[in-house]
Amino acid sequence: MRLQRKSAVVTGGIGRGITAAFLREGASVLAVDRDEEALCTAESELDAGDALRTLQCDLAARSAAEEIRAAAAGHSGGIDVLVNNAHTSRQAPFVEHTREMFALSLGTDFYATARLTRSCYPHLRERRGSVIDFASGAGLDGQSHQASYAAAKEVVANEWAADGINVNLISPLAPTAGVDAWAKQRPEQYEQVVRKLPLGHMGGPETEIAPVAVFLASEDSAYMTGQTLLADGGTLVLR
Ligand X SMILES: NC(=O)c1ccc[n+]([C@@H]2O[C@H](COP(=O)([O-])OP(=O)(O)OC[C@H]3O[C@@H](n4cnc5c(N)ncnc54)[C@H](O)[C@@H]3O)[C@@H](O)[C@H]2O)c1
Q: Which is nearer to ligand X, 76 or 136 (CB)?
A: 136
> Which contiguous run of DSSP H or E holds residue 54?
strand 52-56
Put residue 208 in one of left, alpha, beta given phi > 0 → left and psi -120 to 50 → alpha. Answer: alpha
Q: Which stretch binds ligand X (CB under 6 A): 27-35, 41-49, 156-164, 222-230?
A: 27-35
Q: Which stretch binds ligand X (CB under 6 A): 9-17, 19-27, 74-82, 154-162?
A: 9-17
Q: DSSP labels for 134-172?
A: E--HHHHT--TT-HHHHHT-----GGGGGGT-EEEEEEE
What type of residue is 20? A
Q: Which residues from 176-215 bind ligand X, rule CB under 6 A?
A: 176-179
User: Dihedral of the CA atoms 106, 173, 46, 216 (nearest 10)?
Assistant: -80
184 burial level (CB within 10 Å; 0-12, 13-18, 19+): exposed
Per CB under 6 A, 229 contacts ligand X: no
Please state, in angstroms and rounded to a whole number, the distance separating the CA atoms of residues 43 and 54.
Answer: 8
Residue 149 bears catalytic tag: yes
Q: Which is nearer to ligand X, 51 or 56 (CB)?
A: 56
Convert residues 118-157 into a mask of x (bound to ligand X by CB under 6 A) and - (unbound): ----------------x-x---------------------
Per CB under 6 A, 76 contacts ligand X: no
Q: Which stretch binds ligand X (CB under 6 A): 44-52, 82-90, 119-127, 217-225?
A: 82-90
Residue closest to 27 by CA, chosen among 14, 46, 8: 8
Please state, in angstroms and rounded to a whole number, the distance separating the CA atoms of residues 127 and 164.
Answer: 9
In the complex, minimum distance from the CB of residue 237 to ligand X, in angstroms, rounded to a whole number: 16
Show the DSSP H helices in 47-110 as ranges: 64-76, 99-105
Q: Which is nearer to ligand X, 54 or 136 (CB)?
A: 136
* Identified catalytic residue from 111, 149, 190, 223: 149
Per CB under 6 A, 28 contacts ligand X: no
In the complex, minimum distance from the CB of residue 109 to ligand X, in angstroms, rounded to a whole number: 6
Active site residues: 149
Binding site for ligand X (CB under 6 A): 12-14, 33-35, 38, 58-60, 85-88, 108, 134, 136, 172-174, 176-179
